[in-house]
Amino acid sequence: MRIRPSHLAFTALASLFAFNTAWADEVQVAVAANFTAPIQAIAKDFEKDTGHKLVAAYGATGQFYAQIKNGAPFEVFLAADDTTPKKLEEEKEIVPGSRFTYAIGTLALWSAKDGYVDAKGDVLKQNTFKHLSIANPKAAPYGLAATQVLDKLKLTDATKGKIVEGQNITQAFQFVSTGNAELGFVALSQIYKDGKVTNGSAWIVPSNLHDPIRQDAVILNKGKDSAAAKALVEYLKGPKAAAVIKSYGYEI
């Protein structure tokens, strides 16, 4: 029987598809809320380039820590700080040697209103606003950074009765975007893309006003045998992911 070239090509493609399907896997990722937009952009390229699928949950770093300790099925953790992953490492909850800094975050004071927040953040000292939104400082590193800024500017007492606290940085952002707070401390990545603030007005907080927001990633023990988990960590270290991360205002 004569086999036509087209039949051979189809057979080869079918075999390749079967191989890729067998090799491709899902990776369950706990993602700090501030990194929502970047990881969604990275996930598309990651799936296209590796065949693996990224399944993400978003929330506060402190809440994820509690969930991981209680057996949550996450394989990779992208935290909003470096202390929580280090703690998990000390508690032997991660694959040894997998911890690394994937981004350094930037804090911003933001209002959904154009022109409301000035370039130096003097709106804070003027103190004419009724509500100031921040993330829970006990669970969200960006919330902790916000309290450090207020302390450094000696505004903690003056703003105490005006604080509206979100469970995580996403909720802190929502309080401002919906008008429930005139302004708030958010992650720059939530309002920034390709070199500019995308809506409203903002003060990019100088890094010397708070501790560095080093965001570490780890492979958790549940991901130790996952090819997709290892592939994601390597992908985050690569130039394609780095370009996306920088476009949202992070440092690498």
- Tens digit of each residue's pLDDT (9 = 90 or more) over 214-242: 999 999 999 999 999 999 999 999 999 99
The average pLDDT across 99-127 equals 96
The average pLDDT across 121-136 equals 96
Measured CA to CA in angstroms, residue 163 lies from 72, 130, 160 at distances of 32, 9, 6
Write out the two tokens for 141: 């590193």
CATH architecture of the domain formed by 5-104+213-247: 3-Layer(aba) Sandwich (3.40)
Question: CA–CA separation, 125 vs 64, rounded Å?
Answer: 34
SS3 154: coil
Phi, psi of 210 (to 5 degrees): -155, 165
> In which residue are the tokens 């309290």 written?
147
Q: What is the pLDDT of residue 18?
A: 38
**How does DSSP classify residue 107?**
E
pTM for this model (two decimals): 0.82
CATH architecture of the domain formed by 107-204: 3-Layer(aba) Sandwich (3.40)
Q: What is the pLDDT of residue 158?
A: 96
Please report how many Cα atoms fall inside a 13 Å half-sphere around the Cα of residue 53, on the Cβ side: 7
The average pLDDT across 72-89 equals 97
| pLDDT level of residue 12 (50, 70, 90 thresholds) | very low
> In which residue are the tokens 């990633």 written?
217
Measured CA to CA in angstroms, residue 42 lies from 56, 239, 247 at distances of 12, 11, 12
Greater model confidence, 113 or 20: 113
Per-residue pLDDT for 3 more than 50?
no
Domain with CATH 3.40.190.10 in the chain: 5-104+213-247, 107-204
| pLDDT level of residue 23 (50, 70, 90 thresholds) | low
Per-residue pLDDT for 6 more than 50?
no
Q: What is the pLDDT of residue 177?
A: 97
| Mean pLDDT estimate for the chain | 91
Q: What is the pLDDT of residue 139?
A: 87
Write out the two tokens for 133: 């939104």
Q: What is the pLDDT of residue 252?
A: 86
The average pLDDT across 46-72 equals 96
H or E element in which residue 143 lies: helix 141-152
Per-residue pLDDT for 92 more than 90?
yes
The average pLDDT across 9-22 equals 40
Contact predicate 81/213, CB 8 Å: yes
Per-residue pLDDT for 155 more than 80?
yes
Percent of the chain with pLDDT over 70: 90
Q: How many helices (H) and strands (E) does the chain have?
A: 10, 12
Q: What is the pLDDT of residue 11?
A: 41
**How does DSSP classify residue 207?**
G
The average pLDDT across 24-46 equals 95
Write the single-letter amino acid at 154: K
Per-residue pLDDT for 204 more than 80?
yes
Q: What is the pLDDT of residue 199?
A: 93
Question: CA–CA separation, 145 vs 37, rounded Å?
Answer: 20
Greater model confidence, 110 or 1: 110
Classify each residue of 104-119 as buried b or exposed e, where b means 16 or more C-beta atoms within 10 Å of its C-beta: ebbbbbbbbeeebbee
Phi, psi of 70 (to 5 degrees): -95, 15
